[in-house]
Amino acid sequence: MKMCITAKGDTPDAQVEERFGRAPFFLFHDSEQDTYTAETNAFADAAGGVGPRSAQVLIDHGATVLVTGQLGGNARRAIEGAGIEVYQATAGSTVREAVAAYRENQLNRIL
Amino acid sequence: MKIVVASGKGGTGKSTFSANFAWSISRSRDVVLVDCDVEEPNLHLFFPGDTSESEVTVLNPAFDMERCDLCGKCGDFCRYGAIAVLPKQILFFKDLCHACGGCRIICPNEAISETERVIGKVWDAPVDEHLRLISGVLNEGEPNGIPVIKAAKEAAEGNDLVIYDSSPGTACPVIETIEGSDYVVLVTESTPFGLHDLRLAAEVVRKLGIPAGVVINRSDGEDDETEAFCRKAGLPIQMKIPFDREIARLQSRGDLFSVAMPEWQDEFVNLLDDICTRTGGAQ
Ligand code: SF4
Ligand code: SF4
């Protein structure tokens, strides 16, 4: 299973980023191999349409779970349409902690 | 001659100025006044009467899912993020689409056609024999007013003297309104806020390379700072409308002050003459 966590940095020890479309990095966690891959969000500073475009990145990576802070309306539509589950990140936690919290069923599902 | 009336921010009395200016000069010649403040057009409130209406449409993509193989090329292409290609479907975000038509061209399977969507209208009102008012009106919830501004400007094409009332601020709609004009009148107030916004507006006009002048509205007579700025920026102060009880009273009733105070009609005609002189005499 592939999971995406929006992050402020490109390592598993970076803090989780609250904003989805404007997150500087997307970290993808592969649960089978327990590996992380970081992807720079090319749209973090784009003028508009960042929500759907970021959603497209997740879809292209085959992520089925997203952990983030907040989702805009358009991003929500795209994420929902792709059948990706969304969980609320705990503010201030790291990517690694967010993955652990997800495994222990401690995160609230928001979509 | 195409004259744009602009201001750095709302609330400077720009619309009131435009309405009085256009009405006054239309006593002696034909004028078309265009309301380009498409999100909040209000000039029609000064000139009630018959109006004809035409729709403004944009072309949006329509997807034929029989032909689409979800290759994702359209989604990659659209720089506005208006298309998301999901594993089993395509999502189209109409409020993000800028109607560029590119996705239709890029699609390898001819799965995209174009369909018209109404985003606003243009009102055309013959106020009287010499004054015509054209208003661009953007439908509520629509994010992009540029096509409506374009349509309103187009409706006024072919006339000798057109006055465009732009939306406040310095964003894209203002630039769209100013582009192609001969002169810009910047309406400001003699307050510190007014000066700040005037600076921004003056900078935009300078960059666009269009000659401009300043009108100080609701002047309290203490305009030193504004005057100093205009001197430095090379902007002539072409008119001052004083803070005046009678003007305020007339305006609060929605009346044009130049109707009740005919001496102002001459002032506005003089302003037009001044503008014509500054732009090389062409009328
Ligand atoms: S017409 Fe242009 S802006 Fe609209 S969806 Fe297609 S590519 Fe995007
Ligand atoms: S480019 Fe054409 S075929 Fe490919 S996903 Fe878009 S609509 Fe479908």
Note the Cα B139 to chain centre separation in Å. 16
pLDDT at A11 over 70: yes
B78 Cβ inside 6 Å of ligand 1: yes
Q: Looking at beta carbons, which residues of chain A come within 8 Å of B85?
A: 56, 59
Rounded Cα–Cα distance for residues B209 and B188 (Å): 20
Cβ–Cβ gap B96/A83 under 8 Å: no
- Give the pLDDT confidence score for residue A45 in this predicted structure: 86
Nearest to B75 among A56, A81, A83 (CB): A56
- Answer whether A69's CB lies under 8 Å from A21's CB: no
Nearest CA in chain B to A58: B86
Rounded Cα–Cα distance for residues B223 and B240 (Å): 10
Rounded Cα–Cα distance for residues B114 and B28 (Å): 47
B100 Cβ inside 6 Å of ligand 1: yes
What average pLDDT is seen over chain B? 93
- The protein residue with its alpha carbon nearest to ligand 2, atom 3, reads B68
Rounded Cα–Cα distance for residues B215 and B236 (Å): 9
Residue B176: phi, psi to the nearest 5? -60, -40
- Give the pLDDT confidence score for residue A109 in this predicted structure: 94
- Answer whether A25's CB lies under 8 Å from A42's CB: no
Pairing state between β A2-7 and A25-30: antiparallel
Classified as helix, coil or strand, B20 is helix
Q: Taking residues B90-113, what's their average pLDDT?
A: 94
Chain A: nearest CA to B208, how far in angstroms?
A: 22
Cα-Cα-Cα-Cα dihedral sign, residues A95, A98, A100, A102: negative
pLDDT at B282 over 60: no
User: Which ligand 2 atom sits nearest the alpha carbon of residue B103?
Assistant: 1
pLDDT at B9 over 90: no
- Give the pLDDT confidence score for residue B235 in this predicted structure: 96
Q: Looking at beta carbons, which residues of chain A come within 8 Å of B79?
A: 46, 49
Q: Taking residues B247-266, what's their average pLDDT?
A: 92
Give the 3-state secondary structure percentages of chain A, helix then strand then coil, rounded to 5: 25, 30, 45
Task: Answer with the residue of higher pLDDT: B53 or B11.
Answer: B53
Which one, of B133, B159, B135, lies nearest residue B145 by Cα? Answer: B135
Quick check: do B2-56+120-279 and B65-110 share a fold? no
pLDDT at B52 over 80: yes
Nearest to A49 among B72, B87, B96 (CB): B96
Domains, in order of start, for chain A: 2-103 (3.30.420.130)
Pairing state between β B183-189 and B212-219: parallel
Domain B65-110 has CATH 3.30.70.20: yes
Domain spans of chain B, in order of start: 2-56+120-279, 65-110
Assign B281 a pLDDT band (cuts: 50, 70, 90): low
pLDDT over 70 for what percent of chain A?
Answer: 100
Cβ–Cβ gap B81/A48 under 8 Å: yes
Task: Answer with the residue of higher pLDDT: A105 or B141.
Answer: A105
Among A22, A57, A59, the strongest candidate for a mutation testing the B interface, having the largest count of B CBs within 10 A, is: A59
- Give the pLDDT confidence score for residue B81 in this predicted structure: 92
Pairing state between β B31-35 and B162-165: parallel
The two structure tokens encoding residue B82: 């208006």
Cβ–Cβ gap B82/A83 under 8 Å: no
Task: For residue B110, report the distance from its CA to the centre of ligand 2, in Å.
Answer: 8
Nearest to A48 among B83, B89, B96 (CB): B96
Assign A30 a pLDDT band (cuts: 50, 70, 90): very high
Assign B240 a pLDDT band (cuts: 50, 70, 90): very high
pLDDT in tens, B163-201: 999 998 888 899 999 999 999 999 998 777 888 889 999
pLDDT in tens, A43-79: 988 878 899 999 999 999 999 999 999 898 899 999 9
Rounded Cα–Cα distance for residues A64 and B102 (Å): 30
Q: Taking residues B26-34, what's their average pLDDT?
A: 96
B101 Cβ inside 6 Å of ligand 1: yes
Residue B18: phi, psi to the nearest 5? -55, -45
pLDDT in tens, B257-268: 999 999 999 999
The CATH class of the B2-56+120-279 domain is alpha beta
Chain A: nearest CA to B90, how far in angstroms?
A: 9
